[in-house]
Amino acid sequence: MRSKLFVPGSRPELFPKALAGAADALSIDLEDAVAESRKAEARANVGAFIAEAGQAATGKALIVRVNALDTPHFADDVAAIVRPGLDLLNLPKAETVDQVRAAVEVIERAERAAGPQALPQPVRLLLNIETPRGLRLAAELAACSPRIAGLQIGYGDLFEPLQIARRDPAAVHAVMLAVRLAAGEAGVFAYDGAFANVQDAEGYKAEAEVARRLGFLGKSCIHPSQIALANEVFRPSDEEIAHALRVLDAAREAEARGVGAYMVDGKMVDGPFVRRAEVIVATARRLGLA
């Protein structure tokens, strides 16, 4: 999931075009991108789209950002979208373990209402880390339910109320590292947030490159022009793929000889490096690069 394109839930005419695009995932928004007066209309549009897209087996991940738990829309959003075809439910403004568990209870009720045969597997969650408290408790949030698939940074909600400059590299890096380590502790993925200046392609790419170096899975896109940038950054380079293949070859030889640590390309390699190489090669094969 190198790239994830946000699409407003109130713009159903954009759904087919987004589905046909190059993004690895679609993140359909029922929260900030939808006016209060159009919430019910948007959730009906999105529920119908998920049902149709799920049956079509598009190969893209379908994600829906619902309204927050403390809004009057949350339960209705969940009831509308919990159906075959939904890959992740994106929960905004996650702050406490109790809050996340309460959201899971609502999701479980929606799953029971859909019937035991309706959903092949439980709905998983992508938690937005976009408040100071959520950032401080990110590792606890990520580990509080087996339904948690990943953590995603929400820069706007996190930075703007605190008057933190969005383009301050040190601030961005600090948040990225904190979220990545929290996700790593819980064994879930970390996903980078949006970059609002659509015309600044170099700025988007530079931020995406930092996220990739920190082990993020991919970066959000708020405009189709950002998709190619994310896809380019979050693919293994030819050099990385070649090195990873040599690591795996060396690992097989070392195992046969009973050796735990060994040299590849002049670098000492052991178990953690092998696991990273396995991820790189698996990603490359999924993208048709190896």
Detail the residues annotated as belonging to a binding site for substrate. 65, 130
Known binding-site residues for Mg(2+) equal 130, 157
Q: What tokens appear for 132 in the block?
A: 């100071």
Known binding-site residues equal 65, 130, 157
Residues 6+ away with beta carbon under 8 Å from 152 = 90, 126, 127, 128, 129, 190, 191, 192, 193, 220
With the C-alpha atoms ordered 238, 61, 221, 173, is the resulting torsion angle positive or negative? negative
In one-letter notation, the amino acid at residue 254 is A
Q: What tokens appear for 86 in the block?
A: 């939904």
What gap in Å lies between CA 209 and CA 230, rounded to an integer? 9
DSSP helix/strand/coil, 170: helix
What gap in Å lies between CA 64 and CA 87, rounded to an integer? 8
What gap in Å lies between CA 283 and CA 290, rounded to an integer? 9
Per the DSSP assignment, residues forming a β-bridge with 36 are none
Q: Give the closest residue to 45 by CA, choosing from 56, 58, 61, 34.
A: 34
What gap in Å lies between CA 184 and CA 189, rounded to an integer? 7
Q: How many CA atoms lie within 13 A of 287 on its CB side?
A: 21
Q: What tokens appear for 90 in the block?
A: 């994106």
